[in-house]
Amino acid sequence: MTAVLEVFGHGGDLVTAAERFGVEVGQFVDFSANINPLGPPARVLEGLREVLPRVVHYPDPGHRSFRSALAAKLNLPASWLLPTNGAAEAMALAILALKPQTVGIVTPCFSEYAQLSRQFGARVLTCPGREDRGFKPDEAELYRLFEQADLVFVGSPNNPTGLLYEPEELLRMAGWTDRTDTHLVIDEAFLDFVAEERQFTLADQLSRFPRVLVMRSLTKMFAIPGLRLGYAVAVPALIERLREKQVSWSVNSLALAAGELCLEEADYEAKTRRLIAKERSYLSGAIAQELGWRVWPGEANFLLVRCPAQITAAELQELLGRRGILIRSCAMYPGLTPGDFRIAVRTRPENDRLLTALRDVWRERRERR
C-alpha cells in the first residue's frame, strides 16, 4: 500500500517529498501547491531586500500602513478589513470569535475548514457536492445545512474542484444568513486567478449582509506563501470580534511590506490571468484528449483530474515523485475517489514536462497489463 505523501494534510510539502523520493527540494517541479508559476514580482523581491533591516523592530500591531493601502485598493473603509497571517488565520479567527457549535461545509472542499472547526471544538456537518453538477450541492440540501449550522464555509473558487459559484448563488446564500441565524464565510483565496469579468465578490456589499465574512489571500497570486499574508472583510463589528482573538504581531513586518508592494502589481496580475487561462486550457485539453482522463473545468489556477480504474492517484503520485514531479492526491477528500488528483497550472515547459511524464507512466502501466 502506497504511503500518503500529504502527512500534514496539504500539498507543497517539499521536505517530506525530498525524504520520500530522494530528490533535492529545489529540483522538484511542484504541481501540488497552487502558487503563481511566475514567482514573486521583481519589485516585491527588491522591496523586501530594502526593508529587511526592519526586522529589528516589532511589526505594527495595527497593520496601519498595509491596511490603509488595502482599503484604498478595495475602495472600502479600513475598519472593514483585518490583515491576517494567511487566509488560514482568518478562518481560525472566525471560528474563535463566533464560537459556532456546528460548522457546515460543502464537500469536497479545503481540508482546513473541518480541521480548524474540530480543533476549536465545533461539530462539522457536511453537504455533498453533486458530481453531475460539477460538485455544486443541491440547493435544498444546502439550505438545510444553513438551517443546521451556526457557521458555513464556502470556497469560491472551491478547492480542489475549481468550482466558481455564480453571483445569484452567492447572493442567495448571503440572504439565507439572517433567516437561518447563520454566519457565512466565503473563501476567495483563488479568486484573483479567475477571469476579471467572472470575479464576483460580496466584499463590497457586506453592509447588506452583516453575517457574511469574506476571506482573501495574497500568497497564491503573488507567490509568497512563505510570508503568510491574507485578510478578512466584514462589517466593523465582526472585524473587531476577530481582531480581539488575534495574537499580537501575528503578521510580520516583511509580509506587511510585501503586501503593500503587491497591491501595486496590476500588470503582473493581468499577465498571470492570461497565462493561467491559456495553460489551463492547454493542460485540460491534453489530458482529456490524449490520455482520455476526466478533467473538471475549474476556473482557478488548478485542475481536478480523475485517473482510470487501472491506476490510483496515490500510485500516480509515487511514480511521478520519483521523476521529480509532485501532484496532490485528492483521494482523502470526502466526495472524491481514489483516482482523483489535483494539479496546479504552471508554465508551458513545466506543463509539458508533466504531460510527458503522465504519458510515460500511463503507457508503462498499460504495457504491464
Q: Is the pTM of this model over 0.85?
A: yes
Domain boundaries, the chain: 14-40+267-367, 42-264
Query: Is pLDDT at 53 greater than 60 in this prediction?
Result: yes
pLDDT of residue 368: 75
CATH architecture of 42-264: 3-Layer(aba) Sandwich (3.40)
List for the chain the helix, strand, coil content (%; round to 5): 45, 15, 35
Average pLDDT over residues 8-30: 78
Q: Cα–chain-centroid distance for residue 27?
A: 24
Average pLDDT over residues 186-206: 97
CA angle (258 as vertex; 255, 260 as ends), nearest 5:
115
Query: Is pLDDT at 180 greater than 80 in this prediction?
Result: yes
pLDDT band at 4 (very low <50, low <70, confident <90, very high): low
Sign of dihedral through CA atoms 255, 217, 123, 149?
positive
pLDDT band at 23 (very low <50, low <70, confident <90, very high): confident
Average pLDDT over residues 88-111: 97
Query: Is pLDDT at 1 greater than 50 in this prediction?
Result: no
CATH class of 14-40+267-367: alpha beta
The per-residue pLDDT for range 209-239, each reduced to its tens digit, is 999 999 999 999 999 999 999 999 999 999 9
Under DSSP, the state recorded for 205 is G
pLDDT above 90 coverage of the chain, percent: 89
Residue appearing with cell numbers 478578512: 232
- From its phi and psi, is residue 185 left (phi > 0), alpha (psi between -120 and 50) or beta? beta
Q: For residues 266 and 41, what is the distance between their CA atoms, to the nearest angstrom? A: 11
